[in-house]
Amino acid sequence: MSATTAPIIKIDGISKSFGSFKVLDGLSMQVMPREKLALIGPSGSGKTTILRILMTLERIDGGHIQIDGEQLYHMERNGQLLPADERHLAKMRQKTGMVFQLFNLFPHKSVIDNVTLAPMLTKGMLRAAAEKRAMELLDMVGMADKAKAMPAQLSGGQKQRVAIARALALQPKIMLFDEVTSALDPELVEEVLNVLWRLCAETDMTMLLVTHEMGFAHDFADRVLFFDRGKIVEEGKPDEIFRNPKQERTQGFLKKIIAAGHRV
């Protein structure tokens, strides 16, 4: 990463409250293109909210976000910064894909239809082309033989791999993974993590992961951010954060996680 490369995500002093509960309070951070970023921290620390804000599932109360050089929640019109309208948001969403903790597959559509729906509707792809691309993606996540199956026939790990293929079908530059293995039985976690390794090797996407898999975060991420109460308490290379955390809160959190049986 050269010093001249511009960040692909630039978050500048954003805040977000749910009622009187302040989730994010003047948060700023940057993510470089191709960077793999792990967001860790106790629940309620705001890490999932950041992903949801980047996917426009939550609005911000204040601050600015730039994605790929363009404002996410604002539009520049005649030198003025106006709130983004639905068209601007739709344009910005093309850059980002998201995978959810509970998969959120469409239960009434087969595996392949789950993957082809959005490219056909939003990019005007013809069915034949969309299905060809979908089969390549399903092959990549090891689900090609289940293309005709319905989601209800799949295991959790299989569902999540389909959900990843579905998000990839729109060819986003940034992928957001929100606790994608948290809802899985332990023996199914690895098949999903293997897909992430494959994405890392075969694509140059920027990836943000909210995860409780500390071992995976350590091995996979270029940089780890530790969140607590809506702020970044500590950030650094995985080795620094996991082996040698400087902040007391980070140490406390990792101690609890290790006590709960997670490998670091």
Q: Give contact residues for other proteins (rule: CB under 8 A).
A: 55-57, 90, 93-94, 97-98, 100, 102, 104-108, 110, 117-118, 121-122, 150, 152-153, 166-167, 170
The minimum distance between CB 96 and other proteins, in angstroms, equals 8
Closest CB to other proteins among residues 82, 90: 90
Burial class (CB in 10 A: 0-12, 13-18, 19+), 31: buried
31 three-state secondary structure: strand
Whichever of 5 and 153 has its CB closer to other proteins, that residue is 153
Nearer to other proteins, 124 or 261 (CB): 124
Q: What CA–CA distances, in Å, run from 242 to 30, 118, 246, 261?
A: 21, 39, 10, 15
User: Residue 46 CB, nearest distance to other proteins (Å)?
Assistant: 18
Cβ proximity to other proteins: between 71 and 171 the closer is 171
Cβ closest to other proteins, residue 10 vs residue 166: 166
Cα atoms in the Cβ-side hemisphere of radius 13 Å centred on 62: 9
In the bound complex, what is the minimum distance in angstroms from residue 108's beta carbon to other proteins?
5
* Smallest gap from residue 215 Cβ to other proteins (A): 27
- Cα within 13 Å of Cα(248), Cβ side: 0
**In the complex, minimum distance from the CB of residue 149 to other proteins, in angstroms, rounded to a whole number:** 9
Q: Residue 220 is which amino acid?
A: F
Q: How far, in Å, CA of 243 to CA of 8, rounded? A: 28
